[in-house]
Structure 1
Amino acid sequence: MSLRWCVHELGFRAAVRRVRELGVSAVELCGMSGPDVDWWRDEGAGSGLTAVSVHAPCPDGSDASRQYPGDWFLDDDPQRRAAAVSYAVDSIRFARQAGIRHVVYHLGSYQRRELFTALVDAVDAGGPQCRAARQARGAYLQGVEQAATAVRDRLRSTVERLLTEAGEDVVVCLENRYRHDQAPSPAGVVALAEEFRSPALGYWHDTGHEAAQRHLGVWDNGAADAALQLLAGMHLHDCGGVDDHRPPGEGYYDFSPILARRAPSMPLVLELASSASAERVLAGIAFLDRLARTGRR
């Protein structure tokens, strides 16, 4: 389970205790400060939790404004880009020291949120195939492609730096994003894999992000199938419309096909919103257990 569920409300150490109280034994680390790194190293083993992945930036060196360095990689400000890379590299170094193999990354934003919002509004008003939605979708996809082309070299240099740092003992896991104007997309992961051909590069599949993009008609099945050949782990959460990070079973996502792709020992991480109560979290875990045992919801 991801500490995302409660780390920003409780702080890292209290979040570790809260997740352990649920009976969870494996966790994805996030939301750490510098002192938390020392605490995890010295006392983490006694928490009863095993860390299976790290969600970068972790440790998080950003300031109290809670701005997210994971979206600075493509920023026009070179200082912010450099800070993002620094935090990203620190995440790999922490993972290596802690013996955690998988580090999950977002790679930035193309800053086309207004086109995303227009598409959501059109789909909500008339459905994904109404005329307004088709027009909004076309404008969104065109705008994203133009923006992505303009910053492609920034994306490439970021990934090259991460793979160099990862070496042979850490996997740089690139996660599909919630919005199509955020990087990387499955197609972007495939392009980077073909360019670098590195065993240190993997794909981290997020089910709720897939579902939200399917709802809007911007999910690319062919690119996703190609990216899934690189599958290293998953974030599991449900989605209704574009409302994601719900406990499994509360939305419309069909988990069976993606779970069938799981290799033995591959990390599966439940990534839920802080609004989910402990009871809802446990119901989501029970839903996935039942699905794994019986193949039925």
Structure 2
Amino acid sequence: MNKIENNPIKALFFKIEGTLAYQQKDIESAQDLILRMIDVLGVDCQPADFAEKLIKGESEYQTWSEKYFVDLAPEEKWSRFLLRDLSKELIREHAHTLEKLWRESQAGWQLAEGVVNTLQELSDRGYTLATISRNSLKHLQGETFLDLFCARVQPNNTKRYQPHSGLLLEAAAQCNLSPDECAYIGDRPSRDVIGAREAGLREVILLKNQYTTEDKTPCPMQADAQLSDMTELLDCYPPLNGSNAHRKALKISPVLFDAALSTINWNRERISINEFFEIGRELGFARFELNHQIPLEVYEQIDFNRYYISSLHNPCPAIQHMKKLEKEDKILTSVDEKLRQVGVDVLKNTIEHAYRLGARNIVIHSGRVTGDESMDLELRKLFRAGKQNTHEFRVLRERMIADRKERGKPHLEALVRSLSEIVGFAEGTNILLGIENLMYYYEFPTFEEIQVLLETFDQPWIGWHFDVGHLEIMANLGLESIPHWLDAFDKRMVGIHLHDVNGIDDHFAPGDGKIDFSVVGPRLQPFTQVTVEVKPFVSTQEIRAGLPVLEDTGCIARL
């Protein structure tokens, strides 16, 4: 990056750990703390083996936490990641003590060479400086350079992990600047570039030196520059002129929601895919979901460096259209082993693409019961005729429920075999697999079926993808209940599709139907990936009008 004439950057945000400071360990003190942890738990384990287990678990947790920008409570962190092979009750009882001792064993930070002089010079040149740090700054207490920062943003009191785009927006707000006037300096693409791009910062710079930890997480986004020395920032950011450095500050609060917009809303006859993403950004969506109708030629046109794709809806890219796969029974529930394996391979392909994109989750259509579905179609016909309260409707519904239950058994067995392979394949990718509830009764899963699936697969990377509209339709037909599903499965809700419903028609803008979103918002989990999924007939104006409905009910939040 060269000097920029009339440089629009007014503020520089720095991540402290790994950029301004690096960690130095006191081996003797660390060993003593490890022994104390073993004593607290009363386990028989060699200190070296125990430390190795913690290091591996911490690495897995950090990778997961960085992708989903969530910090778990110590009870969850230690029982799910660091010591998951020990008694959960024992770990939860001592989790806070273990966390304190572990943090102390990792302490010891040293400023990188040239930091203080470089920051002082940048400040003298008129730049506003801010820091974003995951940890308390007590390890740098007494360092006078901290006084150079007009904002010090820490996520300690939230569940957001740096560099969650909300933290960067908070830093911009504290500096009374627009994100477009700010640059972020970090050290890892997967957690620094993505967050800055979502927040709309103008520039992202990566600092790579002997202290930098290798980033093993794939990320399609590239920084605007990569430097090897802190002092090189002085070549990038020349002195601001007086009008820029001392202009009257105007606090700007851009609207950006911690949610994705699905490409199901894309009208491909009118605009390009990247134009759709730009409109989505203007609406306030931080990220996007690619639905199952994105062919390979469109997928290859996407500007992945500019727009973050947080989730993929299988199959994606759609090398074969989902309807064609279903028609040919090439799905996860097929009782024909060769066809079932095709469905598994299609999902594996989606997982591989999601991994390369650094996506967070995948939406899975599990499959369906093959054969006659005429009772479902007839039931909906009666509903549209206003006969949902008739004896005819109730009798047909009970017949269908009994038929579906019996015919679904072999397909459920096939689905378990498919997911057994998929869950193993996805392990270590840090991608959440979401089993979506669908809108037709002969599709998978019913309440009883997803109960079996979630009990069978208790791994933290697989769960329920809650499609609000689909379940509302099932409720209107008297087949399911939203509160029933939420009471049973909300803790496993890895993703959610938000759209509204009128009768048994769905994918309207929120607020243009009958769904009570206030029932939904409070049940979302910190890791639930939120996506607004409305059809192409829904206009930009209707989406914009629906966002306050979701915000007021806690379904989406501003960053």
TM-score category of the 2 structures, normalised to the smaller one: 0.7 to 0.9
From the two aligned structures, give the one with the greater helix fraction. 1
- Quickly say closer, same or farther: Cα 1:187–1:224, change in 2 above 3 A: farther
Q: How does 1:64-143 map to 2 (within 5 A)?
A: 67-68=324-325, 72-75=331-334, 78-111=337-370, 112-143=372-403
Q: Which residue of 1 aligns with 2:200?
A: none
Give ranges in structure 2 of 5+ residues lacking alignment.
1-260
Query: Once superposed, what is the RMSD of the aligned Cα atoms?
Result: 2.6
SS, match of residue 205 in structure 1: strand
Q: How does 1:198-237 map to 2 (within 5 A)?
A: 198-220=459-481, 221-237=483-499
Structure 2 CA distance, aligned partners of 1:252 and 1:98?
A: 36
- Alpha-carbon contact 1:122-1:136 (below 8 Å) kept: no
- Alpha-carbon contact 2:490-2:524 (below 8 Å) kept: no
**Identity over aligned pairs, percent:** 23
Residue-by-residue CA offset, 1:72-111 (whole Å, 9 max, x unaligned):
3334555543332211011111111111121110111114
Query: Which structure is richer in relative contact order (CA contacts within 8 A, separation 6 or more)?
Result: 1
2:529 corresponds to which of 263, 267, 277 = 267
Q: Which residue of 2 aligns with 1:145?
A: 405
Q: How does 1:242-261 map to 2 (within 5 A)?
A: 242-261=504-523
81-90 or 211-220, which deviates more: 81-90
Q: Which residue of 2 aligns with 1:50?
A: 308
Structure 2 CA distance, aligned partners of 1:234 and 1:278?
A: 21
- Alpha-carbon contact 2:494-2:527 (below 8 Å) kept: no
SS, match of residue 85 in structure 1: helix
1:197 corresponds to which of 441, 451, 458 = 458
- Alpha-carbon contact 2:507-2:533 (below 8 Å) kept: yes
Give the deviation of 1:34 after TM superposition. Answer: 3.5
1:166 corresponds to which of 420, 426, 439 = 426
SS, match of residue 44 in structure 1: coil
Structure 2 CA distance, aligned partners of 1:143 and 1:192?
A: 21
Q: Please give the TM-score of this superposition, normalised by the length of structure 1.
A: 0.87
SS, match of residue 408 in structure 2: helix
150-159 or 101-110, which deviates more: 150-159
SS, match of residue 204 in structure 1: strand
Q: Which residue of 1 aligns with 2:448?
A: 187
1:22 corresponds to which of 262, 283, 291 = 283
Count of matched residue pairs: 288
SS, match of residue 553 in structure 2: helix
Give the deviation of 1:131 after TM superposition. Answer: 0.3
133-142 or 113-122, which deviates more: 113-122
Structure 1 CA distance, aligned partners of 2:447 and 2:267?
A: 28
Structure 2 CA distance, aligned partners of 1:75 and 1:263?
A: 32
Structure 2 CA distance, aligned partners of 1:14 and 1:184?
A: 35
Q: Which residue of 1 aligns with 2:209?
A: none
- Quickly say closer, same or farther: Cα 1:76–1:23, change in 2 above 3 A: same
Give the deviation of 1:154 after TM superposition. Answer: 1.2
Give the deviation of 1:50 after TM superposition. Answer: 2.7
Give ranges in structure 1 of 5+ residues lacking alignment.
none
Give the deviation of 1:228 after TM superposition. Answer: 1.9
89-98 or 7-16, which deviates more: 7-16
SS, match of residue 239 in structure 1: strand
Q: Please give the TM-score of this superposition, normalised by the length of structure 2.
A: 0.48
SS, match of residue 465 in structure 2: strand
AA paired with 1:274?
P
Structure 1 CA distance, aligned partners of 2:332 and 2:542?
A: 35
Give the deviation of 1:198 after TM superposition. Answer: 1.7
Give the deviation of 1:273 after TM superposition. Answer: 1.1
SS, match of residue 260 in structure 1: helix
SS, match of residue 524 in structure 2: coil
- Alpha-carbon contact 1:107-1:183 (below 8 Å) kept: yes
AA paired with 2:550?
L
Q: Which residue of 2 aligns with 1:154?
A: 414
- Alpha-carbon contact 2:518-2:553 (below 8 Å) kept: yes
